[in-house]
Structure 1
Amino acid sequence: MGHNSLKGCFGICLVILFFSLSASRADALSVAWGGDWKTLKSEHFEIHFEDGFQEMARRCLAIAEGVHLELLPFFGSGPVKRTHIVLSDDTDFSNGWATVLPYGRIRLFVAAPSDPGSLESYDEWLHLLIRHEYVHILHMEMGRGAVNAGRKIFGRFPLLFPHVLTPVFLLEGMAVYFESDAVAGYGRLQGSHYAAQMALEVRNGNWKDLQEVVVPLRNWPINKAYLYGAFFIDYLISVYGKDAVAEFLYRQSGELIPFFTLNFQAKRVFGKIFPALWEDFRLAMEERFADGHSEGEGMEERMLPSGNFFHQVTAVAGDDFFLVEDSGKDRRRLFRYTEKGREPIMALRPLSDMDVAEDGRLAVSRILRSVDGRVFHDIFIHMPEVGWKRLTRNQRFSRVRWMPSGESLLVSRQQAGLSELYFLDMEGSMRLLWRGSEGDVLGAFDVDAAGERLVAGLKRAGQGWNLEIMDLATGGWSGLTSTPFMENQPSFMPDGRILFSADYDGVYNVYVMDTETGMLEQWTRSSGGAFSPGFAGNKGLYYQAYTADGFRLMRVDHPAALKAFPKEDVAGEKISPFLFDAIENLGSERKYSPLQSLRPRYWFPVWLSSGESSQLGFETHGSDALDRHSYGLMAAYDMKNDLVNGSLTYACDNRWLLLLDRSHRFGEVRVGEVFWDYTIREDRVTLQRNHLLNFFEDRLALHGGLVHERDTLVDAPSVFSRVSMESNLAGMALTFRDEEHYIHVPGIGWGFYGELIAESNEILDSDYKGAVVQGAIRKIWNLPGPRTLGVRLAGGYADQEAKPFRIGGTRTGEEMRLFGRNEAVLRGYPRSVQTGNIYAAQRLSLTSMLFRVERNWSLMPFGLGDISGSIHVDSGSAWDEGRAMRQLTGAGLELHVELVLGYHFTAPLVLGYARGLDKDLGEDQFYTALGFSF
């Protein structure tokens, strides 16, 4: 093996390290650019937050210290060093993640859940979130015996954390179990939605076996690692006790190869291996959830064609019902439902809410992902004769309703942990209507036909979800319900009654309330849950039913009361008092410094041997608490050739990138009848500044870069002069990216990408001269079902004294670079089959999903996800200016197999065949490639 093998090994090591950045499987991105960040410390935690969040940070420390005291007895030990908490308000979604690598870190997203689902059952969002994520920290930190001895030598190397390398359903199941409180009645195991989900899994014959739950990728239910994991841990504790589960964790925490000891340790502690425990668990769930009412009993409902799988965004305007179909296979599309069926209206970008005015104008809350790391919502309106108009920028309004006059909108958001309501006019001017107190969370809302009242689902601090009415003239609230149940997603019916979803019978169903009499009517009887109800006048009731196969759109033409009762029958209070006292005598607040957490926390040896070299070295990695700065370092000494190889990668946000690499290439040259060995040292430095300027919702971006390359002949016989060639390119690149990914479509599901790159050898001293200009465009069409058609066109021109282009081969190693590229792929031909100062390449490909396996091999660390295939035709040529172009064409097949290794890593394996159609230069190529993602 040559130098490329060392690079590959280093890449694999970094993948193993990076996977653990998100124990909760969330996006482990750095915090958004900018901000004045501060730091506070308590006994066991260090919290980082933006200026202005001081009180929330102190509250988080109080919660975290209280949770630490509660959970420590079960896990037996805690982190030796303080756990870092990052308090983030740069996304509108409710989430968090935790990792112990390279040190203990928790990321908290401030925005609280506000819709029925699984997360709405909480006393206080930050308490639930900290509790869940800190369970991950305590769980994954566990170590004993040889594991702890290894940590003393190598530091926090990923393979020395056995519970990091454990199936996701055990990690998430433990966290969901401990986030839930049966006495206070909060947490997912105490909510109605989890119970309904598990009941459907049992009753409808969709029970997932152990091999399916170990690989929780894309099959329904999407949250199966959490769902099955939580009930499984609950089952183990109820049958064997907490001490037994704690003992299993303790024993497993000393295993250096934990993948192969799970069954052994389970047998020792529980008396059974995991497959037998899973069968007992299935029987227990069948006994627990066997009874239940029949779906739709007493109703005349029908299922309508709609985007299956996901919960869809809907709206009602008079007698018209609208739905945004998001099937996970095709572009999101707005449909209007009529008596004749459904009428397609337009394609839409990702959105969270919408409303339709009487004149047909559409108001939507769109999800916008900025290059600075923020994920915010903004309001757009669509006018049939004009098109789209953006009303807000970075204002975070995630819900929208037209006022009856059609002259303004009512919009809501969460910002800095506070819920707010605003009036928004057609010019984008905003007027604050209401701002909640700390702990108040506003859910879905609606405005009555007169524009005088608003009804909303509202969670007050220390209470559950109830319905409240606001007088829009005064901004004053009045309670409509006061119950221990979850009531949300309300809307006004034409006769003034309130339509909403609630879990009065333990499952979310649709109810109607007469606000004058206080009488309630139940309109649906769903076994999985009825959500987002909408009454479309003469067209009846629409709602979305959670089923064992996904969400389905249902319609009841003539809804009638299945049951009627006064609201006093469900009255009561759900009080969740905050239990942890504020911390006194915290350390003084200081300005955040990345240097405090950036040092490397581990090292690990790297050894590679081949006929050409024998290399021994080490690798390490580091990142700061905000994940804004990260680096990877590898250094190796080639003992056979007395050479040093190494690489350093440093990234700051997604703006700055620095790559330094030194490697050696060995070869042989023939001079006459004599073969001479030679060694070339390859040095490469890349400095890249991304996103100098951004336009069009950050889809168009300008980047800059410097690339230094130097090839030096360091070992050659005396017949050669010791020469080197140096290239110093400075360039600018313009990129445009507008692409979408769909859960059921391999690769990119739809979109366009284009790039134009201009580089020069004249700005810095270089052995090459002149300019290099190249560009590419890629268009992906979404075909019916899980398949796509793609076209790629690329070309370039280099001055005669610049480094020439090379074309050929199945991969070049330059595919991910933006600057310094001079090779192009042409499958079916050897690498560098043609060279020249001009090149052109074309590609046509058809890609389709073939199989979705999504199963693991028992508890072994090997599984399969999706298997897809593609057919491609490539053509291209490289030639010198003034000479004739010889076009080369090849065709082939690729099979893409998604391997799942170690429960967490997805490793796309490509098996390809290509044939060059040129009878002189073409060849048959069989090739493989293996990548990693997580």
Structure 2
Amino acid sequence: MKKSLLSLMVAASFATSANDNWQTIETENFKVHFPKAYQSWATSAANELEVVREKVKEQQNRVLEKQVDVIVFDPYNQSNGFAIPSSVDPMMAFFATPPQSDTVISNSSGWQQLLVLHEYVHLVHLAQPTRSEWRQKLRNFSSAYDIAHNPTPRWAAEGYATLLESQMTGRGRLHDNYVESLIIQFAKEGSLPSYSQLSEEDGGYMAGSMAYLVGVRFLQWLEHNYSKEQLDAVWTRMQAVKKRDFDSAFTGVFLEKPSKLYRRFVAEYTHKALTQEANQTALETKRWFDLNYIQTAPSLSPDEDKIAIVSKDKDGNTKLTIYATEENADAIKEFEEAQKELLEDDAKDIANSKPTSFKKETKETLNSINRKGILNPVWRDNSTLVYGAFSVANNEMNTLHQDLFSWNSETSETKQLTQFANVRRFSLADNNTAYAERVEYGYSQLVKIDLTSGEMSDLTQPSLQTVYDFPQYQNNKLAYLKTKLNQNWALWVKDLTSNNDVSVPMPKGYQFLSYPKWSENGESIYYVAGVNGQTNLYRYTFASDKLEQLSAGQQVMQYPMPSKQHGLLYLAVNSEGPDIYQLSDNASVTEVTERALSPKAATNKAEQPSLPPAKIYQQTAGAQRDYSPSNQTMSFTLAEQYNSASTALLHVGVKGKDLLNKLSWQFGGAIDNKNALNGAYLDVKYQLDKWQFLAHAFDYKLKAANQYQHPDVLAAEEDATGAYLQASYPYRNGAFKLNSHLAYSYKDIGDSHNQWLALGANQIWQRDWQTFAIGQTASARVYSGDSSQGSWQGFDANVALFGKAWNMPLYVDYQTKQRDDMLMNIGGFASSLIKPEAQAERSLINELPFYSALSDDYQRFGAGFAFKQNTPWLYVSQHELNNSELATSYGIKLNSQFDFAVAPSVLNDINIDFGIAKIEGDTIQDEVRGWIGLWYSL
């Protein structure tokens, strides 16, 4: 729902491959797959899915006839989900962790209901079969065409699912006070996204959320100003016999382009925001710290001389920075001197206006290590912070858990305090005790943590019906937020001595609630609540039972920080990110006399048909069994490779897999127009817990003299048939990963044969500080073989150092291949026919044609750099045979492998290879050579 579909599918591929204890519940219209630990969540989801399907069918007058596959798991220990809208193999994935109170998806009757509804609407909306028979047959034949058919703009896809999530529940992002206050703030600044920006995932602050938050409001505007029927007609027209894209389908109904109507919507919404602003009194506050982009979870040190805050830049780099709270005298002096110098140079010039605040002095910075994040820092003492970050259990390989870590800013020492605890927000009672909210398998609870031992004890029982957030300790009392199904968030205070809980009053008509914070003396508590499309800051004093409102919708407030030295600080969000403000002691305060009677959520904005109240279903929804990979889906595949040194290959095949990619396979053929290389192949891969088994069979003919660069090659021909078998097992210890394998190959080449047994391992380690990184890889393999010419032995080895400097990736590497009593043929490229690991008698080099040379000793020295992560490398390689130089190549190249386990088979096992290089050598024709290809290899 929030992260990009690409990153979510990657997460799914990690998590599904790490656990073999999967179950399946099959209902009439869904198959729900889940690890055994998620039994209760999945059982309830299976029931909810059938309820949602019937209500969506009634609302949409559309339904999916296909049985839908659903995955329940929790790869990130965070809230999310996604749908793959295939008309042939539709699927959804649900992340069980519920959202926290300050997120834009916190307003729901229940996380499970919201998630099921939102993702299922995606399928009904986007996965409908087309009414064109020939196009639908093509969709049935090719998963790639099926998914790419009639792409809908992201804003329309996400906006429509968000619209129905709100209309059918009366909750959701359309009716969320926090979201409304955010969009109003952007509108007041003239910063609502343009139509071309509306679907973007990257860019400015909150850019990726605008497809949901603004898209839904634009769609609602269309329904109100035109009609629901007209909007619905757009989706009907997109699946017509006549081929239409979204703009054509939209314009034919509304008689205007969507971009033009969107501009009108922005104008009206901006007018609404400015009218609201004009009727507000000014808030007596001043900017205390001017920040930029994503800033979150500020925390004042016990002595109040420092403030820590987590930031994330546009490249996704996360860091925890400690700033001095006092005014930056050096920055002020530098500004004043610059203005003085300006006027000395030109007395008639006008000096810059003095900023309302100067950047605070940076004291210390902690960068996120290996992209594990930094969350919710809390001061342990005046030099040490405890914070959350993600960790990975060695026996799970890839599933992320949230844990607590400490950082001593004076010694720079970091230490992990818990092990795979799955704790989110927390508060410290003393140096050794924390109170936290824990989520595991979808269950939320409050726990007490001994930071010395890492042991946890329950404060509340784990629950699927109740979610907790923002525990705040003060004077042996614990304030915390809690929401139950069909309720708003509520603020409670637990007396840890008597174990009694009391509720904190809320303003009448509130919906959003977050960011509780005790006053410095513990006599009152601050929080942010939303009423009537605005969010405001409140203060409740316990002794006098007085509830006061400290703002009136002028700002989008977050994280109040009452202090003795600096008054009341808080974050205020604008279109460029939050800044820290200081509320004036003279700011007007309004006593709230009308209070909410209960936290029960209002659903009066729901439209019929609407969903019933959310619940956790316990009854059996269908038959349950162990997950079986025998339920296979398949797709036709088409791929092509071109290599100017060798030949061009056209691959035609069929791929298949089960949903979790436990059993996958492909077969097909490859041909070229020069009769240099052609043949057939069959691959099968099976995952059993961590073990992976691979079988590759091939039958190909290679005629070296028919290649493009035939003057440079030996006049050799191969008519090869054979098979390759491999079993591999992974191991992980922190950032160290090792994959060991045992392999066997047999090949007939004409009248001769070659067979061998190999034992090998691939290893990688890295440490990533974001701007800088260092890592290394190593691989080794030893062979023992037997051929028609006799027995032989050999080994392969490869080592590489890689890293980043100022965000620029770079590497150096070395490769060697040695054979005793056997010659390797040098050159050629990898393909579905020729799998490198199955070719012990070959050393593949893209820049050279097959059979450029024969040798028993090959070495390569290489280095390269790129301007940015995941962009092509500028590289140089030197190739040697028997310690004599064969060739030097330099140019640009890119090689990537993609494997998204839960996606359709056509989106798995993809290899992309591209390069342009100049090659030089005494026996090689000096020239520029190139290659480009996309092919499949299990």
Q: Residues of 2 paired with 1:198 and 1:657: CA distance?
A: 52
The correspondence for 1:443, drawn from 466, 469, 477, is 469
SS of the equivalent of 2:454 reads coil
Q: Residues of 2 paired with 1:723 and 1:25: CA distance?
A: 45
Matched, 1:759 2:790: no
SS of the equivalent of 1:293 reads helix
The correspondence for 2:56, drawn from 66, 71, 82, is 71
Q: Residues of 2 paired with 1:874 and 1:664: CA distance?
A: 32
SS of the equivalent of 1:286 reads helix
Q: Residues of 1 paired with 2:924 and 2:745: CA distance?
A: 33
Matched, 1:465 2:489: yes
Q: What displacement does 1:230 show?
A: 1.9
For 1:876, the aligned partner's letter is: Q
Q: Decide whether aligned partners of structure 1 residues 658 and 446 sit closer, same or farther in structure 2, where only a CA change above 3 A counts.
A: same
Give the structure 2 partner of residue 731 of structure 1. Answer: 760
Q: What displacement does 1:876 show?
A: 3.1
Give the structure 2 partner of residue 266 of structure 1. Answer: 250
For 1:347, the aligned partner's letter is: N
For 1:514, the aligned partner's letter is: T
Give the structure 2 partner of residue 517 of structure 1. Answer: 544
For 1:266, the aligned partner's letter is: F
Give the structure 1 partner of residue 190 of structure 2. Answer: 205
Q: Percent identity?
A: 15
Give the structure 1 partner of residue 42 of structure 2. Answer: 57
For 2:366, the aligned partner's letter is: M
Q: Residues of 2 paired with 1:869 and 1:676: CA distance?
A: 32
Are the aligned partners of 1:520 and 1:565 in contact in 2 as well (CA < 8 Å)? yes
Give the structure 2 partner of residue 790 of structure 1. Answer: 810
Q: What displacement does 1:762 show?
A: 1.3
Give the structure 2 partner of residue 86 of structure 1. Answer: 71
Q: Residues of 2 paired with 1:918 and 1:702: CA distance?
A: 36
Per-residue deviation, residues 296-322 of structure 1 (Å, max 9, x unmatched): 94344326365x432434333221311
Give the structure 2 partner of residue 7 of structure 1. Answer: none
SS of the equivalent of 2:191 reads coil
The correspondence for 1:417, drawn from 438, 442, 453, is 442
Are the aligned partners of 1:682 and 1:709 in contact in 2 as well (CA < 8 Å)? no
Q: Residues of 2 paired with 1:176 and 1:645: CA distance?
A: 47
Per-residue deviation, residues 333-370 of structure 1 (Å, max 9, x unmatched): 33222124121243333132222212533322211245
For 1:634, the aligned partner's letter is: G
The correspondence for 2:859, drawn from 824, 831, 839, is 839
Are the aligned partners of 2:670 and 2:833 in contact in 1 as well (CA < 8 Å)? no
Matched, 1:281 2:265: yes
Q: Residues of 2 paired with 1:391 and 1:845: CA distance?
A: 37
Q: Residues of 2 paired with 1:651 and 1:156: CA distance?
A: 23
Q: What displacement does 1:523 show?
A: 5.0
Q: Decide whether aligned partners of structure 1 residues 499 and 453 sit closer, same or farther in structure 2, where only a CA change above 3 A counts.
A: same
Give the structure 1 partner of residue 606 of structure 2. Answer: none
Matched, 1:925 2:928: yes
For 1:110, the aligned partner's letter is: A
Q: Decide whether aligned partners of structure 1 residues 806 and 321 sit closer, same or farther in structure 2, where only a CA change above 3 A counts.
A: farther
The correspondence for 1:498, drawn from 525, 535, 542, is 525
Q: Decide whether aligned partners of structure 1 residues 515 and 610 sit closer, same or farther in structure 2, where only a CA change above 3 A counts.
A: closer
Per-residue deviation, residues 596-648 of structure 1 (Å, max 9, x unmatched): 53x23544788999999999986333333445444444356899989752343
The correspondence for 1:232, drawn from 218, 228, 241, is 218
Q: What displacement does 1:442 show?
A: 0.7
Q: What displacement does 1:459 show?
A: 1.2
Give the structure 2 partner of residue 314 of structure 1. Answer: 298
Per-residue deviation, residues 42-82 of structure 1 (Å, max 9, x unmatched): 33223233446554334323322221122113443322232
Per-residue deviation, residues 474-532 of structure 1 (Å, max 9, x unmatched): 44321013453222121222122223332246344443332323434555677662223
Q: Which aligned pairs between 1:229-628 and structure 2 lie closer than 5 A?
A: 229-254=215-240, 258=244, 261-293=245-277, 297-302=282-287, 304=289, 306=291, 308-318=292-302, 319=304, 320-329=306-315, 332-338=318-324, 339=326, 340=328, 341-349=361-369, 350-358=373-381, 360-369=383-392, 372-383=397-408, 387-404=413-430, 406-425=431-450, 426-435=452-461, 437-448=463-474, 450=475, 452-483=476-507, 484-496=510-522, 497-504=524-531, 506-523=533-550, 529-549=556-576, 551-556=577-582, 561-566=587-592, 568=594, 573-575=599-601, 578-579=612-613, 589-595=623-629, 597=631, 599-603=632-636, 619-628=653-662
Give the structure 1 partner of residue 608 of structure 2. Answer: none
SS of the equivalent of 2:493 reads strand
Q: What displacement does 1:131 show?
A: 0.3
Q: Which aligned pairs between 1:83-122 and structure 2 lie closer than 5 A?
A: 83-101=68-86, 103-122=89-108
SS of the equivalent of 2:277 reads coil
Q: What displacement does 1:548 show?
A: 1.7
Q: Residues of 2 paired with 1:508 and 1:443: CA distance?
A: 18
SS of the equivalent of 1:353 reads strand
Give the structure 2 partner of residue 863 of structure 1. Answer: none
Q: What displacement does 1:252 show?
A: 1.1
Q: Residues of 2 paired with 1:834 and 1:707: CA distance?
A: 23
Q: What displacement does 1:271 show?
A: 2.3
Root mean square deviation of aligned Cα: 4.8
SS of the equivalent of 1:142 reads coil
Give the structure 2 partner of residue 856 of structure 1. Answer: none
For 2:406, the aligned partner's letter is: I
Give the structure 2 partner of residue 861 of structure 1. Answer: none
Give the structure 1 partner of residue 29 of structure 2. Answer: 44
SS of the equivalent of 1:47 reads strand
Matched, 1:646 2:681: yes
For 1:660, the aligned partner's letter is: H
> How does the TM-score come out when normalised to structure 2?
0.79
Give the structure 1 partner of residue 201 of structure 2. Answer: 216
Aligned residue pairs, count: 857
SS of the equivalent of 2:62 reads coil
Are the aligned partners of 1:503 and 1:509 in contact in 2 as well (CA < 8 Å)? yes
- Structure 1, unpaired ranges of 5+: 1-18, 714-721, 743-748, 850-865, 898-903
Give the structure 2 partner of residue 859 of structure 1. Answer: none
SS of the equivalent of 1:180 reads helix
Per-residue deviation, residues 77-126 of structure 1 (Å, max 9, x unmatched): 32223223332245411011122445232221111101313111111110
SS of the equivalent of 2:180 reads helix
Are the aligned partners of 1:630 and 1:651 in contact in 2 as well (CA < 8 Å)? yes
Q: Residues of 1 paired with 2:657 and 2:666: CA distance?
A: 9
- Structure 2, unpaired ranges of 5+: 329-360, 604-611, 897-905
Are the aligned partners of 2:679 and 2:833 in contact in 1 as well (CA < 8 Å)? no
Are the aligned partners of 2:110 and 2:486 in contact in 1 as well (CA < 8 Å)? yes
Q: Decide whether aligned partners of structure 1 residues 464 and 267 sit closer, same or farther in structure 2, where only a CA change above 3 A counts.
A: same
Q: Decide whether aligned partners of structure 1 residues 36 and 454 sit closer, same or farther in structure 2, where only a CA change above 3 A counts.
A: same
Q: Residues of 2 paired with 1:20 and 1:385: CA distance?
A: 38
Q: Decide whether aligned partners of structure 1 residues 658 and 873 sit closer, same or farther in structure 2, where only a CA change above 3 A counts.
A: closer
Q: What displacement does 1:257 show?
A: 5.4
Are the aligned partners of 1:542 and 1:556 in contact in 2 as well (CA < 8 Å)? yes
The correspondence for 2:731, drawn from 690, 693, 700, is 693
For 2:749, the aligned partner's letter is: T
Q: Which aligned pairs between 1:841-880 and structure 2 lie closer than 5 A?
A: 841-845=861-865, 847-848=867-868, 872=874, 874-880=876-882
SS of the equivalent of 2:511 reads coil
Instruction: Judge which range, 21-30 or 206-215, deviates more.
Output: 21-30
Instruction: Judge which range, 576-585 or 556-565, deviates more.
Output: 576-585
For 2:413, the aligned partner's letter is: G
Q: Decide whether aligned partners of structure 1 residues 25 and 772 sit closer, same or farther in structure 2, where only a CA change above 3 A counts.
A: closer
SS of the equivalent of 2:113 reads helix
SS of the equivalent of 1:135 reads helix
Per-residue deviation, residues 425-448 of structure 1 (Å, max 9, x unmatched): 202222222225442111112111
For 2:759, the aligned partner's letter is: A
Are the aligned partners of 1:686 and 1:705 in contact in 2 as well (CA < 8 Å)? no
Instruction: Judge which range, 800-809 or 353-362, deviates more.
Output: 800-809
> How does the TM-score come out when normalised to structure 1?
0.79
